[in-house]
Amino acid sequence: HQVVAGMFSLQTDGVFVVQAVCDPDKREAAEKAALGVIADLKKSGPTDAQINRAKRSLLASQISGLQTARGRASDMGGNWLLTKNLNFSRDYLNAVSSVDAEDLVRVAKKYLQDDRLNVTSLNPVGTLEKTAAAAQATQKSEVQKFTLSNGLTLLVREDSRLPLVSVSATFRGGVLAETAENNGITKLLAKSLLKGTKSRSALEIAEEIEGVGGSIGSDSGNNSWSVSAEVMAPDLPLAFDVVADVIINPAFKASELELEKQSMLASIKAEDEQITSVARNALREKFFGEHPYSLRTSGNAERVATLTDKDLAAFHAELAVAKNGVLAVFGDVKATEVLKLAEKAFGSMKSGSPAFAKVDPPTMPTSALDVFKPMDKKQAVLMFAFPSPDLLSPDRPAMELVNEASNDLGSRFFDRIREKMGLAYFVGAASLTGPVPGCQIFYLGTDPAKLDEVTKEFRSEISDLASGGLTEEELVRAKKKLLGGEAIQNQSNGAFAASVSLDELLGLGYDHYLKRAEAINAVTLEDTKNVTSKYLGSPGYVKSTAGPAPTQSTN
């Protein structure tokens, strides 16, 4: 499902590590294969292409981290702390540039020896047959669904592996519930909830949860906002009490609100200096026009500055209602006890109604549109956005696999544009979706002098994908990567609770994860060809560029 290699370099010693996550019956084969790769490296060495890829990867990673003042400060601080040389990163990259195949073989033979090898594995308890049977039994009843008296949906997962409990309260909201006049209010709401209630100060909220070794946080996005906490199992009543209090009874004190607004404005200002963010925000605005998806999740600075406690209270009163949310409690619990605690803590919440129960879809571009944002940077960022299906569309699984196949180190874009042609520092894909259709994004970073050439090549590769769909190799890899990544992520009760809550909230259903593998594995090559032709072959798309100087538009 996942395999990576890396190293921990200390001042006096270090460790080279290969890590893999796999099915239990493939554990020995995975270890054998990993050691076989190392043996081949010591015997034959890497190819020139592999060395160049590694060098460029290190260079791109270093440059990417230097885009912000914070990144540059962190780089200098780390350099000085560990080496007493402010320019160590630069010197290190210069040294890396001179490494050849003989150097790698010499070092591999010196350090990657059998008598230095340590192998550690974490395996399922019991026999593989018992584990498989238990997993199958769990699949039928892993998550239980209840409805409280006020209409709040409650999801419970009983998992006694560790004495921990994750509580996640998720509500419809985000930019989909905002307007151009209040853009940023969802994020301000999420940040302000933890800054005091009618009975607790911000300090008391933090001290109560952290005092029992727990954590609490809030978040917001395109389609939702949430409050979550994690505590030891005996402290679940406390977590319920605090989470319910911050959601139902926020104080929205003027002094705290002003501090959060200033923090948001500083974040927005920092985002306006990040070239990738600038290109992405311009892309969304151009692609979605007057639709809420055109708005920034971080907010509009002018609008955030004018938001008041009354604005926040009114927005909260509309969205923080029972029928607009899902409460998930995953961990070392019993469903019957959780139901009683939830009714006690959240029973006073008003029923209300779901936000954006009927959402108007965005008007998609009907022709090629172009937007350019001039920035005084030494690199340029190029993005293309095409229409994509909504979450409930039957086209969604195939489109997810197209996105996955376009967003890794083995993608056709990475291989040709970055590796073979050397035209990009980084290249990838992303998607924006929800209850209404969104967009599929392809992006890259490049030398401004190469922008015209890379634009033509990038557009050509997207056109090839649109007309032919995925190859069999791409489809197989994308399925394994997507499902493997989700399986790894869902090992955490907190991440699993958030994922299942969002599925239930946006209409997929709390048991969507049970059908997930079947839906993804059912996608065929013909399915990918149909969706790429339908969406990526659309005459309406947006090209967004941010960089040091305007260049001739290439659609």
The reported pLDDT for the residue numbered 196 is 95
User: What is the percentage of the chain residues whose pLDDT exceeds 70?
Assistant: 94
pLDDT band at 24 (very low <50, low <70, confident <90, very high): confident
Strand bridging mode 325-331 / 153-158: parallel
Question: What one-character DSSP code corresponds to residue 361?
Answer: P
Question: DSSP states of 109-154 as a string?
Answer: HHHS-GGG--------SS-HHHHHHHHHHHHHHSEEEEE-TTS-EE
Q: Is the pLDDT of residue 180 over 60?
A: yes
User: What is the percentage of the chain residues whose pLDDT exceeds 90?
Assistant: 72
The reported pLDDT for the residue numbered 108 is 87
Question: CA 435 to CA 390: how far, in whole Å?
Answer: 6
Question: CA 289 to CA 134: how far, in whole Å?
Answer: 50
Q: Is the pLDDT of residue 139 over 70?
A: no
Average pLDDT for residues 135-163, to the nearest whole number? 83
Task: Identify the residue whose tokens are 């967003």.
Answer: 407
Q: Give the distance from CA 42 to its chain's centroid.
A: 36
**If you average pLDDT over every residue of the chain, what do you get?**
91
What does the pLDDT look like over 29-50, one tens digit per residue? 888 899 989 988 888 888 887 8
The reported pLDDT for the residue numbered 136 is 44
Least confident residue range of 90-104, 256-270, 329-343? 90-104
Q: Is the pLDDT of residue 65 over 80?
A: no
What does the pLDDT look like over 390-431, one tens digit per residue? 999 999 999 999 999 999 888 999 999 999 999 999 999 999
Q: Is the pLDDT of residue 363 over 80?
A: yes
Q: Is the pLDDT of residue 511 over 60?
A: yes
Q: Is the pLDDT of residue 502 over 80?
A: yes
The reported pLDDT for the residue numbered 505 is 96
Average pLDDT for residues 381-385, to the nearest whole number? 98
Q: Is the pLDDT of residue 135 over 60?
A: no
Q: Are 55 and 96 in contact (CB under 8 A)?
A: yes
Average pLDDT for residues 138-164, to the nearest whole number? 88
C-alpha to C-alpha distances, 538 to 322, 397, 440, 447, nearest whole angstrom: 40, 19, 12, 28
Q: 200 in the Ramachandran plot: left (φ > 0), alpha (ψ -120 to 50) or beta?
A: beta
The reported pLDDT for the residue numbered 550 is 61
Measuring CA to CA, which residue among 413, 370, 428 is closest to residue 551? 370
pLDDT band at 105 (very low <50, low <70, confident <90, very high): confident
Least confident residue range of 162-176, 267-281, 352-366, 448-462? 352-366
What does the pLDDT look like over 473-491, one tens digit per residue? 999 999 999 999 999 988 8
Q: Is the pLDDT of residue 175 over 60?
A: yes
Average pLDDT for residues 107-127, to the nearest whole number? 83
What does the pLDDT look like over 206-249, one tens digit per residue? 999 999 999 999 999 999 999 999 999 999 999 999 999 999 99
Element (H, E) at 335: helix 335-346
pLDDT band at 263 (very low <50, low <70, confident <90, very high): very high
pTM above 0.75, yes or no: yes
Radius of gyration of the chain (CA): 25
Average pLDDT for residues 528-532, to the nearest whole number? 98
C-alpha to C-alpha distances, 236 to 126, 230, 231, 250, 261, nearest whole angstrom: 30, 9, 7, 21, 32
Q: Are 439 and 535 in contact (CB under 8 A)?
A: no
The reported pLDDT for the residue numbered 473 is 95
Task: Identify the residue whose tokens are 């009683």.
Answer: 340
